[in-house]
Structures are given as structure tokens and as C-alpha cells.
Amino acid sequence: MSAQTLDISKLGGQGDGIAETASGQVFVPFTLPGDVITAAVDKGRGTLMAVLTASANRVEPPCPHFGPDSDDAQCGGCALQHMADEAYRDWKRGLVVSALESRGIKTEVGDLVGGAQHSRRRVVFAARRTETGAVLGFNKAQSHQIVPVESCVVATARINAALPVLTRMAAAVAIGKEAFRLTVVDTAAGFDLAVDGPFKLSETERLRIIAVTRKEQGIARLSFNGELLIEKQPPQLTFGTVTVNPPPGGFVQASEAAEAIMGDLVTGHLKKAKRVVDLFSGSGTFTLRLAANSHVHAVESEEAALAALDRAARHAQGIKPVSVERRDLFRRPVMFSELKTYQGLAFDPPRAGAEAQAREIAKSMVPRIAAVSCNPVTLARDLEILIAGGYRITSVTPIDQFLWSSHVEVVALLERSRR
């Protein structure tokens, strides 16, 4: 490892600054284009030592846990708190523009819909047992070291206020010294906690953890590796006007505000469709919003998520009929011949995208498509397939659901071109 003086010329896709050197690119976290720095360099990675000349876009980060100059170890939960807002928004929008251009897609990309501090209702903490008790926080960048946090500027105020409770719960769950994940979802009925750990619980440990959970305030449910341990009251999320009790550990959009924006875009585009199919529907994030105006057929591979959607729809008032189908859309996509009866289609796949499904949609005659993705690269691939099949993009909206990270949500709206 050697100390070098570097000029940072651009940002990489993960938010690291990049310096061009005679021996190749060097990636340095917590730096910005325009910075002149010294860094300890090892195999193309740099550790920031000092900023000699600061970028004009460098600002003071709002979180004491962020960056190499933080009082505590560097929290890896955020990548770009040190970047001025306008430059940050341009960079994040640029991730979408670059992904589309890499596929030869020329279309207008809207301004980034900004995220707000304390808006993350779903937070994934790292935790482990130590000699002095449990540590709860986030992994240091490029490391398995857990940085304990006393506050988090992206998490909701209720999650921040509950950090002592969550730390006690982590201590109750920790078996041995192996690290585990504690996912916290802030719901109307209380916190939904899901533990994912590389260890097993004995019956005695289950009973002990349940007893601890009963005593803690504000916890609605606790699950361990998908097994429900205790549900004091069903967690509640609202999709449109419908209340849903999501399954333990089920997928939930990270920000309620971002979800509402995505929902408005999708439902606005498909509101005139009498029949809509919602692919990768989950527990009904878009299905139950779309059902305000349309008959909706929801398709999802996860049985528990689909069951939650079905229950919510059956008990809801003032919505159109909703039908459900369990189906692995990667192995068995809905065929174009099955899409003949629909005037609208929405899909929101995992990060891997929906290549096989997009090929079937491209052969269909569904007039309007709403494509939602948390990965601009796979979205661009799927859009390329749809465009080749005769669809045209009417709008692309990037949404900053994951504030100060390298992740961006995108909603693309398409219409079938007339043949």
C-alpha cells in the first residue's frame, strides 16, 4: 500500500471518486470530482487520508457517522452525504441516462424526484453479539465491521427513537458471535422485525426471545429466518385506500413517500384500462391502487405475499375485483397470448429485471405499460426489448427512494405504437 496524491475526475456507479493514474483507475470513497487528495492505494482501491483541495461541490455531511473524519468509524450506509444537492441530483439522474444510452435508448429523462431525510420506513441493520453486549448499526464500507449508530438521518423519526429498543432486541436474538441482519419496517401498527441469521434457535431460545419481545413497546411482530416467533398485532401498510398485513420478511418499498409517487405514476398511466395485469405484484403495492379504477389480475411467485394481497382485496371496500395467480415469472412468464384481454400492464421485478417476461410483453398488443425498477441497468435492457417490439417510451422518472446511496428507483411509462 502506497500513499499517493490523486486528482478525482469523476464518480463511479457506486458513488466512489475515480482518479486516472498511469497504472489504471483508483476508486476512493468519500471523494468528489474536483478533489485533490492523498490516499493510501492498494490494488485500485484508495483510502482517503487528506483532502488537499476540496471540490466546489463538497459540503458538510449531516450525519456524524458518515465519512473518514467522523468521530466514530465510517458508516457504510450512505455514500454521498458530502455532495452538494444539485450536483448529487444530476449524478443520480445521470445513472439512469447512462444506463439507457448504453442500450441506444434516446429519450427524455425527467428530473430526479428528491428524497427526504428521515423518510426510510424500512431499514436493514447489521448486528452481532460482543463481549460487552450487542452492537447494532451498519457495516463499514468495504468491510464486515459493524459501526454502531446512535442516530440515522435517513430512517424515520420513530425508528431513531426506538434504537435502544432495537439494540435490546438484537441482544436477545444474538446467538454466538456471528453477525446477522435485522430488518425493521415502521408500520401503522408498530415495528415489524425480521431477523436473518446464520444460526438456529433452540426451543428454549425461542421462548426467551418471545418473552423479551412481549415486554418491549412498539413491536408488532418478530420473525426469525422466515419463521414467525410472535405477532402482538398484525403490521399494517396502506396501499392506496386498502390496508394490508404483509407477511413476515416480505418485500416493502423502503420509503412510503417514494412509494406514493410511484403509485401515482403507475395508476395515472393505466387509469383508463378496464383490465390490468400486475406482474411481480408482491403484497399489492400497485395492484390495490390500480383496483380503484380497474379489474386487476396480480401475478407473484411468493405465496405469502400473494395471500396477503388476496386477503386485503377480499375485505376492501370501494375497489374493483382483484384476482391472483401464483407463478414464477422467471421460469414461466405470462405468454403474449395470455395478455390479449388486458388494456394495461404493470411490472416491478427484482434487481435482475424481467428479460423473459419483457420478451412476451413485446409480442403482445397491450396498449399501455408501466415499468418500475430499482436497477436502471436491467430496466434499460428490458425497455430495449419492448421498444424493439413496437413500444415507445412516453416518460422516464427517476425517484430518489434511497437517499445518498448509489441506488435509484425508476418508473418508465410506455405505449404501443400504432402498426
- Residue 253 annotated as binding site: yes
Whole-number Å distance between alpha carbons of 112 and 107: 15
Q: Which three cell numbers stand for residue 344?
A: 394495461
* β-sheet bridge partners, residue 193: 184, 222
Whole-number Å distance between alpha carbons of 300 and 311: 15
Contact 395, 96 (CB under 8 A): no
Query: Which secondary structure element, helix H or strand E, spans residue 349, and what is its range?
Result: none
| 63 given a catalytic annotation | no
Distance of CA 405 to the CA centre of its chain: 10
Of 409, 384, 405, which is closest to residue 102 (Cα–Cα)? 384
- Helices 376-388 and 355-362: crossing angle in degrees, nearest 10, is 20
- Residue 300 annotated as binding site: yes
* β-sheet bridge partners, residue 3: 40
Q: Which three cell numbers stand for residue 70?
A: 467522523
Active site residue: 63, 75, 152, 374, which one? 374
Of 359, 353, 357, which is closest to residue 378 (Cα–Cα)? 353
DSSP string, 261-318: HHHHHHHHHHTT-SEEEEES-TTTTTHHHHTTTSEEEEEES-HHHHHHHHHHHHH-SS
Residues 6+ apart with CB under 8 A from 68: 29, 30, 47, 48, 74
Which letter, b or e, does each residue of 125-156 get, where b requires 16 or more Cβ atoms within 10 Å of its Cβ? bbbbbeeeebbbbbbbbeeebbbbbeebbbbb
- Residue 111 annotated as binding site: no
Pairing outcome for strands 368-373 and 344-347: parallel
Amino acid identity for residue 146 in this structure: I
Residue with cell 421460469: 331
Q: Which three cell numbers stand for residue 107?
A: 429519450
Whole-number Å distance between alpha carbons of 290 and 93: 27
Q: Point out the annotated binding site.
A: 253, 280, 300, 348
List residues with catalytic annotation.
Answer: 374
Q: Point out the annotated binding site for S-adenosyl-L-methionine.
A: 253, 280, 300, 348
